[in-house]
């Protein structure tokens, strides 16, 4: 059985965006953990890499939020670096789409939880520029409702460290290709707001119409806000929530809320979102239109 420090690797969970992901056992504490393993760049000075890597992981491990996967440990062994995360129950939004319909209340809770988490993360300089449908784990709460957990915080900083400057572009998912990000000019939390809006849209539509497009094609559509009306997928979305979501998705970053606090302040009150609305997803309209046009 392969080991890294005190962690015994049980089996592979697949290839992540930065390296291999494994289920491992912490031999000291006797618990399962998630081990993410990265190859140390050969052209990077070893001591410089270690300093940057461990500083980044120290910040990640300082984050304490119920919507962020805890980072428990990290280290360097041989030609590899690794990060240890908690092993938690649940499934990703990507895996659940098509199997269960998310209610508007679920999407409201997701947006609120992630916005509050991003507000906490800002103090460490973390802005999530690389959302995917697999970025968020869905957990059922014992008393009802759902908890949404960010699984890949820090990738925007880890990618250039592991794979070199300019590699971040490889991580941009077509469904979340914020125009300013594609131009190499991310706008901090304002760019993260665009991605949260797109994530809400995908959950309500049970998919994202741009997800399988080539990145260049999706980028062109995002620049002009060309996306099917959400009411073509689901007719029961409260107008206030729909308008708020579209504001987050605006192609022009200046038209979005300018901070997490502003986005939360403009969010419709929860009493406007019913928990028992019909979650049936209907067939989309054939045409796409700029998001701002839907009344």
**Domain with 278 in it: what CATH number?**
1.10.510.10
Task: Please tell me whether residues 15 and 78 are part of one structural domain.
Answer: yes
Q: Which of 67-81, 91-105, 142-156 has the lowest mean pLDDT?
A: 142-156
Task: Tell which residue, 242, 239, 138, has the closest CA to residue 227.
Answer: 242
Residue 68 DSSP class: B
Token couple for 65? 């939020």
| Pair (181, 205) in one structural domain | yes
- Structural domain of 59: 3-86
Both 236 and 253 in one domain: the answer is yes
Predicted confidence band at 286 (pLDDT cuts at 50, 70, 90)? very low
Q: Are residues 30 and 165 in the same domain?
A: no
Phi, psi of 193 (to 5 degrees): -65, -40
For residue 287, pLDDT over 50 is answered with no
Count of beta carbons in the 10 Å neighbourhood of residue 146: 17
Taking residues 149-165, what's their average pLDDT? Answer: 75
Number of folded domains in the chain?
Answer: 2
Residue 271 has pLDDT above 80, yes or no: no
Residues forming beta bridges with residue 91, ordered by sequence position: 138
Same domain, 150 and 225: yes
CB 47 within 8 Å of CB 108: no
Quote the mean pLDDT of the chain. 85
Say whether both 183 and 232 belong to one domain. yes
Number of other residues whose CB lies within 10 A of the CB of residue 75: 17
| Mean pLDDT, residues 95-100 taken together | 89
Query: Among 42, 65, 86, which residue terminates a domain?
Result: 86
**Quick one: 63 and 99 in the same domain?**
no
Residue 293 has pLDDT above 70, yes or no: no
Quote the pTM value: 0.85
Residues 56 and 199 in one domain: no
Buried b (16+ CB within 10 A) or exposed e, 189-225: bbbbbbbbbbbbbbbbbbbbbbbebeeeebbebbbeb
Tell which of 86, 116, 137 closes a domain. Answer: 86
Confidence check: pLDDT of 281 > 80: no
Residues 6 or more apart in contact with residue 97 via CB below 8 angstroms: 133, 202, 203, 206, 207
Q: Are residues 199 and 130 in the same domain?
A: yes
């Amino acid at each position: 059985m392969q080991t890294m420090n005190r962690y015994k690797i049980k089996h592979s969970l697949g290839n992540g965006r930065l390296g291999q992901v494994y289920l491992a056992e912490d031999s000291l504490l006797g618990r399962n953990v998630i081990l993410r393993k990265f190859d140390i760049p050969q052209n990077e000075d070893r001591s410089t890499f270690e300093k940057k890597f461990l500083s980044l992981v120290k910040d990640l491990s300082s984050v304490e939020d119920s919507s962020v996967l805890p980072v428990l440990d990290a280290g360097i062994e041989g030609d590899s670096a690794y990060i240890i995360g908690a092993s938690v129950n649940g499934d990703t939004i990507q895996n659940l789409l098509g199997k269960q319909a998310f209610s508007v209340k679920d999407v409201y809770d997701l947006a609120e939880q992630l916005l509050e988490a991003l507000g906490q993360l800002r103090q460490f300089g973390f802005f999530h520029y690389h959302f995917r449908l697999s970025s968020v784990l869905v957990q059922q709460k014992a008393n009802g409702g759902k908890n949404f957990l960010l699984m890949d915080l820090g990738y925007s900083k880890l990618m250039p460290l592991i794979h070199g400057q300019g590699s971040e572009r490889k991580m941009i998912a077509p469904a979340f290709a914020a125009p300013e990000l594609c131009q190499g000019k991310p706008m901090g939390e304002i760019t993260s707001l665009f991605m949260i809006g797109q994530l809400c849209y995908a959950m309500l539509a049970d998919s994202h119409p741009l997800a399988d497009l080539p990145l260049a094609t999706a980028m062109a559509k995002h620049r002009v806000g060309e996306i099917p009306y959400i009411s073509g997928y689901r007719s029961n979305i409260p107008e206030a929530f729909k308008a708020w979501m579209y504001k987050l998705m605006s192609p022009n970053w200046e038209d979005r809320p300018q901070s997490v606090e502003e986005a939360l302040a403009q969010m419709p009150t929860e009493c406007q979102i019913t928990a028992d609305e019909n979650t049936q997803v209907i067939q989309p309209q054939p045409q796409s239109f700029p998001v701002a046009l839907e009344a």
